[in-house]
Structure 1
Amino acid sequence: MQRLKLFLPLLVFIVLAGFLWRGLALDPAAMPSALLDKPMPVFALPTLENGAEKVTESVFHGSVTLLNVWATWCISCRVEHPYLVKLAEQGVRIIGLNYKDDTAEAKKWLETLHNPYSFSIIDADGRMGLDLGVFGAPETYVVDKLGVIRYKHVGVVDERVWREKLQPLMQSLGN
């Protein structure tokens, strides 16, 4: 029994080394979403454009859509915004999710920088973001014609991301 205790530190080391080796093999940029291939969460929230009227998850039915999580306090959102405007001008349907933001500031932002969104959903308390598994802004989801989330991109959408990831997926989904 005494000799067995001598091998205990070696056994602990081997187990820890195994976990470390497994961890190093993972992609640090990958941020999986539990909602991939699942329908949009149920919601009823107002829009920036018409705060009195609420929209539901049904707004994602009928066409392939980008759902872009953004906020005025997000520096990276300002970086990606001109590219989203360009995509909207090319006919890409983008719905915004204004995440934990000041509504007046968000309206001013869109008036000043142009509005690439069909409309923006107000998520003042972050509940919808929580349901989506948002880590922070910006994040962009590809939602198919049936309202099913097919892809999640964390970070800025730029020419490379659009060309290599989002556009091919949207085309394959029938956009």
Structure 2
Amino acid sequence: MNKKIILFFPLLIAVFLCELLFLGLKNDPKNIDSALVGKSVPEFDQTSLLQPWKVISNQDLPKQYFLINVWGTWCHYCLKEHRFLLELNKQGIQIIGVNYRDKLQSAVQMLENLGNPFVLTINDSEGKLAMKLGVNGTPETYLVDSNHIIRYRYSGELTPQIWQQKFIPKIEKLTD
């Protein structure tokens, strides 16, 4: 009897691991909550991407709600969402760009060629601010209120549909 249990034990472990994997596959990685939601934007002081002599810190953040968008020129989805970020900028949405682990020249060239949707662009070539934000990958977009409290985090390409479904309801609550 003990020999039969020992023979089936590896099978039971394999079934258990497969079940865990199956449950994990059902989860959408874009729905992972940030530990910073409900907390202040982490303290930082980093150079501007476009004005390397200028240091940007929390004191430079807008006094109204805004977005923080973490991006890189090496990121396919960041390039895809860029046009929509330009549209949001034209609508008066203030966006802080965090250029994550990128080459300075590539990032500057992209903004010159495609347009700059950002009111401030932070050079995060070492990933320090992204680490403080808990970035899992790019692109990531954070909705921040006028008190610099992070209210929402979205991981993935920001599209008009995501904007309408996820961001607009949260912005309406902020502006009520």
Q: Which TM-score band (shorter chain)?
A: 0.7 to 0.9
Q: Which residue of 2 aligns with 1:72?
A: 73
The corresponding residue for 1:106 is 107
User: Stretches of 4+ moved more than 6 A in 1?
Assistant: none
Give, in whole Å, the separation in 1 of the partners of 2:167 and 2:35.
19
Query: How many angstroms does 1:32 deviate by?
Result: 2.0
Letter in 1 for 2:79: R
Change in Cα spacing, 1:18 to 1:149, as seen in structure 2 (3 Å) is same
Deviations 1:146-173 (A, max 9, x none): 1111111011001101101112212211
* Secondary structure in structure 1 of the residue aligned to 2:137: coil
Whole-angstrom distance in 2 between the partners of 1:75 and 1:21? 30
String of CA shifts for 1:94-119, please: whole Å, max 9, x gaps: 11000011112111111110110002
- CA distance in structure 1 between the aligned counterparts of 2:135 and 2:114, rounded to whole angstroms: 24
**2:169 maps to which residue?**
168
Larger displacement relative to structure 2 (162-171 or 20-29): 20-29
- Alignment-derived partner of residue 123 in structure 2: 122
1:116 is paired with a residue whose SS is coil
Partner Cα separation in structure 2 for residue 18 and residue 49 of structure 1: 49
In structure 2, the residue matched to 1:24 is: 23
Note the C-alpha offset of 1:49. 2.6
Looking at structure 2, the residues matched to 23 and 44 of structure 1 have their Cα atoms a distance apart, in angstroms, of 42
Aligned-pair identity (%): 34
Matches within 5 A, 1:2-151: 13=12, 17=16, 20=19, 24=23, 27-29=27-29, 30-60=31-61, 62-151=63-152
- Per the normalisation by structure 1, the TM-score is 0.85
Shifted more, 53-62 versus 125-134: the winner is 53-62
RMSD: 2.7
Measured after TM superposition, the shift of residue 21 of structure 1 is: 6.3
Alpha-carbon deviation of 1:44?
0.3
How far residue 18 of structure 1 moved from its aligned partner, in angstroms, is 9.9
Partner SS, residue 37 of structure 2: coil
Structure 2, unmatched stretches of 5+, are none
